Structure 1
Amino acid sequence: MPEQPQPRPRLTRRTILAATASATAALGAAGATLLQTGPAAIAHNNRLRVEPLIPERNRGIILYSVRDRISAAPDDSGVPYGFERVLARLAEIGYKEIEFAGYNQNTAILGRQITPQEIRKILDDNGLKANGTHVSINPTTFEQQMDIAQTLGMENIGTGSDPTNSAYKADWDAAADVWNELGRNARKRGLRLYTHNHDIAYSFLLDSGPLDANGKPTRSSGIRRLEYFFGKADPRYVFFEMDVFWAYVARYKHQTYTDRNGNQRTDLFDPILTVADKPKRFPLFHAKDGNKNTAVPNGYDMVPFGEGDIQMQQFFQTIGERDFHHANWEQDTAPGGTANPGQSLAFADVSYDNMSELTIYK
């Protein structure tokens, strides 16, 4: 009989501290300053206390993770459906914040589409706060989107797309001009404008070397696309939401570039130091975990939070600014389809528990 696969161990403080010990040693060797954790810290000061790395009030979820149940028609599965039932369940699990991925549900629930005002009442009734949204950001509809954001009570308005998909500086310059203006308008209304990354955002610009037939550069100086945008976007008006999973995919996929002289260069992207260098540019994060799998193009498979190989303890401990940062759990692959309609909410439950287990000694 073939050997049966063993279940992955549940994330606990013990396993977190064991993982953190090696992570701390590695960062210490690199010259990073870290807070001391674990039994050694307790031995030095018996008055130390355990505190969550992600404060309870800052633990959220983007509804894309449970989109199958938000959009589901009334059924007899026993699994919550629609905004009212799903948000109530998420609040019961423990989530305090909601990031939206659309404002529609199945019209069979109410006989019509739900309104932002009705969604706001559901949030309030369940003690939930909207902390952001993924919408299309463009000058034509931005005022309308800000109206909805303010109806829902959120402080951040954003998108799941990059400001541009281009590999060229000129297009990122143009995008920065637009985003600076939109961000200025958002600030006037008490909102922060943010963009969310996938791995391609941290690939290298084509900004040097010989030109192609269209007059475009064909090689790179080693600057990454979104990092170039950091410098062009006004820090008063434009903010970022790091998707931790896609950042580590970028670390895996985008390691080499060809310099202006045709030489192959290696540069390893560091998600932690990218945030730690500018923590107040990142009010939001997608707390998305993954298991290493070099057999797939991205190098990782998405899994519930705390069940993967990404060192979330190391990440959230090192970036600091715990009270400022808001973590929204996401797993694109959470829905289980008709075969398992309760899977996404079950994963939401496990992920919340594991998120709450991230602690630090102070």
Structure 2
Amino acid sequence: MEEKQDRRFTRRDVFTASAGAAAVLGAAGLPVLATATPALADTDHDRGRGLRVEPLIPARNRGIILYSVRDRISAAPDNSGVPYGFERVLARLAEIGYKEIEFAGYNQSTEILGRQITPKEIRKILDDNGLVANGTHTQINPATFEQQMDIAQELGMKNIGTGSDPTNTAYKADWDAAADTWNELGRRARARGLRLYTHNHDAAYSFLLDTGPLDANGKPTRSSGKRRLEYFFDKTDPRYVFFELDIFWAYVARYKHKTYTDRWGRQQTSLFDPILTVAPQPLRFPLFHAKDGNRNTAVPNGHDMVPFGEGDINFQQFFQTIGEQDFHHANWEQDTAPGGTTAPAQSLDFAALSYTNMSELTIYRRR
């Protein structure tokens, strides 16, 4: 497995999620699905025979991070008729079809029970609705890590993570220190049957400052062209440290972080490719945020968030090319889903639309 993940290939290898691309990636020894069979067979006599259609994201691996419906998780009992709190919201998500839940906190309004809900009570709600917790965004802090792992195991998770970067600086020394900490925490997590993961925003895929003249504080001012989180990949142990690619923010990084100044002061261009980040090492990415966007160069991020399947990101190409569909878990997220008091049902409505669009991504396989 390690030998396969060390293979290198280029953007030229990824044309589309087509028969040609599958052949190229397969020849390179990469873990791509053999899913690019034409919808029709080669002859009229055999048209459509020998094929079957399968979901690109298996139903059991379709999830949601509760940050997308945080307005309804945190809502107090009201007269809107819209579900509120863990019990009602999780029941609605299960009714929609979601099978997995990624947590973004464990609190709800104390008006529901007259006190705060407990992890044990949340676990019962999950079990009663046939839901599985696949991860969490919590603080990864050595001082509280054992307590957070206790909660994760109470809820039945296999992954424990954070929505923050391991460090917020651009300097290699800080990423080295973070890697040391995460390797140790990841080792502790593995000993308890958990995988430790970090989630990216666009800044994680901006460039390190790791070369060139030093500033007044002795810090480097230029870049070798290495991106922060990609450096972290190499510094952390693949047995202990894993990643959740936020696909939307990865494409924002592609839009925003294109140029750097090299050690000689020359501006260089380097195009970030989210697919090529995952495909050589797919087993380091158990989780994804399936977050969609429309291109809009009038806004700083170059994209506006929209429900899954309503934007421009080519999820068909993405998930088909990276392969390993049984290992990868896709959690729908939309930061802007809550509609406020004027549209209290909006986040759950977007959750339903996004689930439908996710379930309609399909591939064709030979029987």
* TM-score after normalising by structure 2: 0.90
Residues 288-316 of structure 1, C-alpha deviations (whole Å, 9 max, x = no match): 00000000000000000000000000000
Match 1:166 to one of 143, 147, 169:
169
Listed as ranges, the matches of 1:146-185 within 5 Å are 146-185=149-188
Match 1:23 to one of 10, 16, 21:
16
Matched, 1:60 2:63: yes
The whole-number CA distance in structure 2 between the counterparts of 1:82 and 1:361 is: 40
Paired AA for residue 39 in structure 2: P
Tell me the residue number matched to 1:191: 194
Match 1:286 to one of 289, 299, 304:
289
Q: 1:298 to 1:69 in 2, by over 3 A?
A: same
Tell me the residue number matched to 1:328: 331
Deviation, 1:267, is: 0.5
The whole-number CA distance in structure 2 between the counterparts of 1:332 and 1:260 is: 37
Mapped contact 2:74–2:84 kept (Cα < 8 A): yes
Matched, 1:275 2:278: yes
Match 2:354 to one of 351, 355, 358:
351
SS class of match (2:94) = helix
* TM-score after normalising by structure 1: 0.91
Matched, 1:99 2:92: no
Match 1:137 to one of 135, 140, 143:
140
Matched, 1:48 2:51: yes
Deviation, 1:89, is: 0.2
Listed as ranges, the matches of 1:176-255 within 5 Å are 176-255=179-258
SS class of match (1:328) = strand
SS class of match (1:85) = helix
The whole-number CA distance in structure 1 between the counterparts of 2:18 and 2:36 is: 11
SS class of match (1:135) = coil
Mapped contact 1:42–1:48 kept (Cα < 8 A): no
The whole-number CA distance in structure 2 between the counterparts of 1:29 and 1:210 is: 44
Percent identical across equivalent pairs? Answer: 81
Deviation, 1:36, is: 1.6
Residues 168-199 of structure 1, C-alpha deviations (whole Å, 9 max, x = no match): 11000000000000000000000000000000
Paired AA for residue 36 in structure 2: Q
Mapped contact 1:100–1:132 kept (Cα < 8 A): yes
Deviation, 1:25, is: 6.1
Residues 295-340 of structure 1, C-alpha deviations (whole Å, 9 max, x = no match): 0000000000000000000000000000000000000000000000
Q: Which runs of 4+ in 1 moved over 6 A?
A: none
Listed as ranges, the matches of 1:251-270 within 5 Å are 251-270=254-273
Deviation, 1:26, is: 11
Mapped contact 1:41–1:361 kept (Cα < 8 A): no
Deviation, 1:47, is: 1.1
The whole-number CA distance in structure 2 between the counterparts of 1:26 and 1:225 is: 34
Q: 1:152 to 1:201 in 2, by over 3 A?
A: same
Mapped contact 2:39–2:364 kept (Cα < 8 A): no
Match 1:307 to one of 307, 310, 327:
310
Paired AA for residue 132 in structure 1: G
Paired AA for residue 124 in structure 1: D
**Deviation larger for 210-219 or 55-64:** 210-219
Mapped contact 1:100–1:134 kept (Cα < 8 A): yes
Deviation, 1:38, is: 4.1
The whole-number CA distance in structure 1 between the counterparts of 2:297 and 2:23 is: 26
Mapped contact 2:17–2:320 kept (Cα < 8 A): no
Q: 1:240 to 1:167 in 2, by over 3 A?
A: same
Paired AA for residue 340 in structure 1: A
Q: 1:38 to 1:73 in 2, by over 3 A?
A: farther
Q: 1:272 to 1:178 in 2, by over 3 A?
A: same
Tell me the residue number matched to 1:36: 36
Tell me the residue number matched to 1:110: 113
Deviation, 1:58, is: 0.3
SS class of match (2:146) = helix
Residues 30-70 of structure 1, C-alpha deviations (whole Å, 9 max, x = no match): 95456424424576761110011110000000000000000
Unaligned runs of 5+ in 1: 1-21
Residues 203-254 of structure 1, C-alpha deviations (whole Å, 9 max, x = no match): 0000111111111111100000000000001100000000000000000000
